[in-house]
Structure 1
Amino acid sequence: MKKKYIGFTLAIVTLLLIGCMIIAGCGKEKAADTTPTTRLIVDMADREVTLPVEINRIAAVGPVPVINTFIFTMGEGDKIVNGLPGFAKSERWKYQTVFAPHLANMPTIQESRTEPNIEELVKLEPDVVFTMDEQMAASIDNANMNAVFLSWTEPEDVKQTIALVGKVLNKETLASEYIKYFDETVAGIGKAVSAIPQEKRPRVLYANMQSMTAPHEISDWWIETAGGQSVAKADRGGQQLAFSMEHLLKWDPEVIVVSTPEDLKLINEDPRFQKISAVANKRVYPTPMGAHVWAHRTAEQPLAIMWAAKTFYPETFKDLNLEQEIIDYYKKFYSKTLNEEQVKEILSGEPKI
């Protein structure tokens, strides 16, 4: 009788242990099922976008080189799955593929600065698509992809854009470091030029001399942040201001920053421009060209401000080691170490293949 009781007890204990193991196993399976695979973010059009927790494939459509600068700044350029548009495959845009070499072999899904081929975009299976066009964002959503809208209307919107891109790409700490760097750069340059009276600040024009335009309203901001007076600001009614020779003579800029090296040659050789103070005093400079044109909207804006300040006031900023700042910037944010020759090439505004 005692043996039967012991056997019965062992059987009960065994069944209980098996039950516990089954329950424990079910519990583990249940925990795995509740692990989040998606997250919700709000983009710059106040759209709610559901994204995967991990982002491994990124696409940029529209003004691709501009958007790429934000992705590069978060050190995630190697995750971009679409190549450069047709217009950005020239040597002028060389540093897009220096910072993300694989882009040279990625498929082109748009030739112009506007609409991509949605069917080709779908084939790339991006986890997220960045765009600066709300209608394009809607089209991407309709194709069952995740569109995140970025907006840049005011100069300092670059910080909000970086913050959002950092959140999307799980690089919020690096985004915060960029914003701190941006603010400290602006404050440092501002403090250095604050003692310079307005009347002693150089009259500056950023121009495309071939089209006789003052493009990109943001140039007014970086010119004035660096301690200059933007001669085009008062007449500007939008992003681009067309001007005549009469305007140019009236403004008589003391410093001219041109958009391309070809402009530099044109303005120095064309006899019409020789009476302009900037030309007569040899103070005409090409804008540097890194991942994007520094004088335009780009995440490289802090570098543009430092370059402009040192260009306007070489003595005031004689201790600013711009070359080292450039090397440090791209190493920290782009995860790319440049050599001295590359830095000189960027500052020349004339990348060569």
Structure 2
Amino acid sequence: MHKIAKIVNITTVIFIVFALAGICDARQKDVFTVKDFRDKSIEIPTQVNRVVTISDGMIEAIMTRLGQAKKIVGMGSACIPKIWSYSFPTLGSKTHEYARGMNPVTHLNPWLMDIPLVSKFGAGINYEKIAALNPDLIIIRTGSCSLSAGDDILEKNIFLLESLGIPLVVLKGPNTFEQPNILSIGREIKLLGQIFQETKEAEQLSSYLESCVELVRERTADINPSDQKRLLLMGLSPKARSQGGAAHVKGVETVQSYFLKNFIHAKNAYPGRGAWNILNTEQLITLDPDVIILVTAWGYHPPSELYEAPYYQNLKDMRAVADRSVAALPWTPCNCEKRLEYPIDVMVMAKAAYPERFKDIHMGQWLLKFYQNVYKVDVKTAGELRSCQWMDWTCEE
């Protein structure tokens, strides 16, 4: 009897060992490991169905291209679900109005307007709401407006997110590095390609974006430094005017200045540092840039605002204004970091600086092809994306 009991016990132990081994093997098959931008190994479930994102549209845009956007159950930017409109007066009675501006991701995924917000610029992260959404994965992008409060607060945010016990992947935008490098965007795309097991699509997207800016680099590479145009990266911000200035300007250590130096072979007309420097009228006139590039700055600002608004008439004698050498970048709400549309910025600046080198590129048509290649949409949808970034002025070229 004792021998039988002993045999039964041994058999039971062996069964349990094999069962546990099977469970471990199953668990190993249910997850795989990636390294995020912290060089930290993260176990990712092979079946990711619920994702919480905190970015200004970059993560959401990549997921859209990879066919994974429907898995987003919570977002960390109030700028994605919002539909925007702006207007400005002219010297006469006319008012210029711009309506239905939005992030391209919003136009492609209108249902994003209805999902929960877990964070937004100027407010903390709602950890309880994230936990209640029961996500399989959290993906955040440092440098985004919601995560721009400083390194100490960012570290605390990451610590608290990890304490939820949900896999956390951290991406880093170009501006978070000591020297901005737009090629890090390709790394972000490829990492999400790994996570969602869409590596081929991710490679194609990354390669296409890099080919767009490489074309600009090749066409301008032979320009001598003495012949390089001086561009002023200027924001016609109402905030700057309310603080006694005329506009914001971007300095030499920003990603826009990186574009000028590394792809366009042009110079930043403003030699200072910082992204949101407030300059007055006299300072702007003294800079005397060859070209003015208008960036998103507390609103959308087209060249016509600089030409026609009564509060900018004291800048009408600036050489770039008098020569109509002014161009506007696409509407980019919450533009704390560059997103998939960064090649548009590069092409707009390049054509404004050196029109003779890009005379074969019709910007309106180029944009249609760009949106089609980036988001895999038809020409009609590409035209709608051009409109929601308020770039239809390019059709008049």
TM more than 0.5: yes
1:99 equivalent in structure 2: 108
1:65 equivalent in structure 2: 57
Match of 1:79 among 71, 79, 98: 71
1:8 equivalent in structure 2: none
Q: CA RMSD in A?
A: 3.2
Summarize the alignment of residues 18-167 of structure 1 with structure 2, pairs less than 5 Å apart.
33=26, 36-61=29-54, 63-83=55-75, 85-88=77-80, 89-91=82-84, 92-112=101-121, 115-131=124-140, 132=142, 133-152=154-173, 153=177, 154-156=180-182, 157-167=184-194
2:330 equivalent in structure 1: 288
SS in 2 for 1:49: strand
Equivalent residue letter for 2:367: I
Match of 2:355 among 310, 314, 318: 314
User: Which structure has the highest strand share of the two?
Assistant: 2
CA–CA distance in 2 between the matches of 1:277 and 1:190?
A: 26
CA–CA distance in 2 between the matches of 1:326 and 1:349?
A: 9
Q: Is 1:247 equivalent to 2:283 in the alignment?
A: yes
Q: Is 1:278 equivalent to 2:320 in the alignment?
A: yes
SS in 2 for 1:181: helix
CA–CA distance in 2 between the matches of 1:198 and 1:176?
A: 34
- Retained in 1: the 8 A contact 2:57–2:103? no
Work out the number of aligned pairs and report it.
322
2:266 equivalent in structure 1: 228
**What's the offset of the Cα at 1:84?**
6.3
- Retained in 2: the 8 A contact 1:83–1:104? no
Equivalent residue letter for 1:317: F
CA–CA distance in 1 between the matches of 2:58 and 2:77?
A: 12
- Retained in 1: the 8 A contact 2:285–2:318? yes
**What's the offset of the Cα at 1:73?**
4.2
- Retained in 2: the 8 A contact 1:74–1:333? no
Larger deviation, residues 304-313 vs 119-128: 304-313
Equivalent residue letter for 1:297: K
- Retained in 2: the 8 A contact 1:69–1:292? no
Equivalent residue letter for 1:102: W
Question: Residues 267 and 332 of structure 1: is their aligned pair in 2 closer, same or farther, counting only changes over 3 Å?
Answer: closer
CA–CA distance in 2 between the matches of 1:346 and 1:45?
A: 34
Deviation string, structure 1 residues 109-160 (Cα, Å, up to 9, x no partner): 2243553211111122222211224432221110122211111222222122
Equivalent residue letter for 1:72: T
SS in 2 for 1:136: helix
SS in 1 for 2:139: strand
1:345 equivalent in structure 2: 387
List alignment gaps of at least 5 residues for structure 2.
Answer: 1-17, 85-100, 143-153, 241-246
1:20 equivalent in structure 2: none
Larger deviation, residues 323-332 vs 253-262: 323-332
CA–CA distance in 1 between the matches of 2:275 and 2:332?
A: 22
Deviation string, structure 1 residues 6-28 (Cα, Å, up to 9, x no partner): xxxxxxxxxxxxxxxxxxxx99x
Question: Residues 223 and 93 of structure 1: is their aligned pair in 2 closer, same or farther, counting only changes over 3 Å?
Answer: same
Question: Residues 344 and 145 of structure 1: is their aligned pair in 2 closer, same or farther, counting only changes over 3 Å?
Answer: closer
TM-score of the two chains, using structure 2 as the length reference: 0.71
- Retained in 2: the 8 A contact 1:155–1:218? yes
- Retained in 1: the 8 A contact 2:386–2:392? no
Equivalent residue letter for 1:309: A
CA–CA distance in 2 between the matches of 1:124 and 1:165?
A: 21
CA–CA distance in 2 between the matches of 1:96 and 1:265?
A: 27
List alignment gaps of at least 5 residues for structure 1.
Answer: 1-25
Question: Residues 96 and 240 of structure 1: is their aligned pair in 2 closer, same or farther, counting only changes over 3 Å?
Answer: same
Equivalent residue letter for 2:374: F
- Retained in 2: the 8 A contact 1:39–1:52? yes
Deviation string, structure 1 residues 202-223 (Cα, Å, up to 9, x no partner): 2111121222222481110223
**What's the offset of the Cα at 1:273?**
0.9
Equivalent residue letter for 2:361: L
Question: Residues 272 and 302 of structure 1: is their aligned pair in 2 closer, same or farther, counting only changes over 3 Å?
Answer: same
- Retained in 2: the 8 A contact 1:65–1:84? no
**What's the offset of the Cα at 1:51?**
1.4
TM-score of the two chains, using structure 1 as the length reference: 0.79
**What's the offset of the Cα at 1:192?**
0.8
CA–CA distance in 2 between the matches of 1:77 and 1:207?
A: 34
Question: Residues 254 and 242 of structure 1: is their aligned pair in 2 closer, same or farther, counting only changes over 3 Å?
Answer: same
CA–CA distance in 2 between the matches of 1:143 and 1:55?
A: 17
Question: Residues 78 and 328 of structure 1: is their aligned pair in 2 closer, same or farther, counting only changes over 3 Å?
Answer: farther
Question: Residues 99 and 343 of structure 1: is their aligned pair in 2 closer, same or farther, counting only changes over 3 Å?
Answer: closer
Question: Residues 244 and 263 of structure 1: is their aligned pair in 2 closer, same or farther, counting only changes over 3 Å?
Answer: farther
- Retained in 2: the 8 A contact 1:66–1:292? no
Question: Residues 326 and 229 of structure 1: is their aligned pair in 2 closer, same or farther, counting only changes over 3 Å?
Answer: same
**What's the offset of the Cα at 1:75?**
3.8
**What's the offset of the Cα at 1:344?**
4.4
Identity %: 19
**What's the offset of the Cα at 1:77?**
2.4
